[in-house]
Amino acid sequence: MYLITIFGNLLIILAVSCDPHLHTPMYFFLTNLSFVDICFTSTTVPKMLQNIQTQSKVITYAGCVTQIYFFILFAVSDFFVLSVMAYDRFVAICYPLHYTVIMNSRLCGLLVLVSWIMFVSLFYCTILGVYLSSAAPQSSHSSAVASVMYTVVTPMLNPFIYSLRNRDIKKALRAFLVKETLHGQLS
């Protein structure tokens, strides 16, 4: 599942980067979402896989704090990028004739910047919630299942939900794969 998550999100980034027709606000935000999903998943899954492989559940205090910091950073960033994407779709649906004027590149960059800045203001509240909730007794099995669901399954499904069903992305991926296949055969 981890490899599917990484590969699917990298495909989105690659398709949007390589196709000039996809250089629109919607795909700009989608690329940011894919990047954040890769980072979000990569904060916990490699350590989890190492723990499974070595049958060890040890993590240093510094490693734990670092992992929690980046986990919360990317979780909140994911939330804000999804909020910005919702605003983009709102403008596209409610103001279709003004969409290109409203969603210019300056505003897109500003929205992404604001979503990252908002993280800083909410970071301390969310980390406090993590520490307070860790004091409550919970079943380790239900916690593990919940952890896998929001750290691996959701980021794995995002590429399928948001873009791989999209014919523009499919077209860009096909063009890229054909170009790379031909380039590989000619080399």
The 10s digit of each residue's pLDDT in 73-121 is 898 888 888 888 889 989 999 998 988 888 888 888 888 777 767 655 6
- Three-state secondary structure along the chain? CHHHHHHHHHHHHHHHHHCHHHCCHHHHHHHHHHHHHHHHHHCCHHHHHHHHHHCCCCCCHHHHHHHHHHHHHHHHHHHHHHHHHHHHHHHHHHCHHHHHHHCCHHHHHHHHHHHHHHHHHHHHHHHHHHHHHCCCCCCHHHHHHHHHHHHHHHHHHHHHHHHHCCHHHHHHHHHHHHHHHHHHHHC
DSSP character at residue 141:
H
Whether 136 has a pLDDT exceeding 80, the answer reads no
Greatest mean pLDDT among 35-49, 110-124, 139-153, 157-171 lies in: 35-49
Over the stretch 46-77, which tens digit does the pLDDT of each residue have? 988 888 888 888 888 898 889 988 988 898 88
Greatest mean pLDDT among 4-13, 105-114, 145-154, 175-184 lies in: 4-13
Rounded Cα–Cα distance for residues 65 and 59 (Å): 10
Which is more confident, 149 or 112? 112
Q: What is the mean pLDDT of residues 21-45?
A: 91
Whether 40 has a pLDDT exceeding 80, the answer reads yes
Which is more confident, 166 or 99? 99
- Please tell me the pTM assigned to this model: 0.77
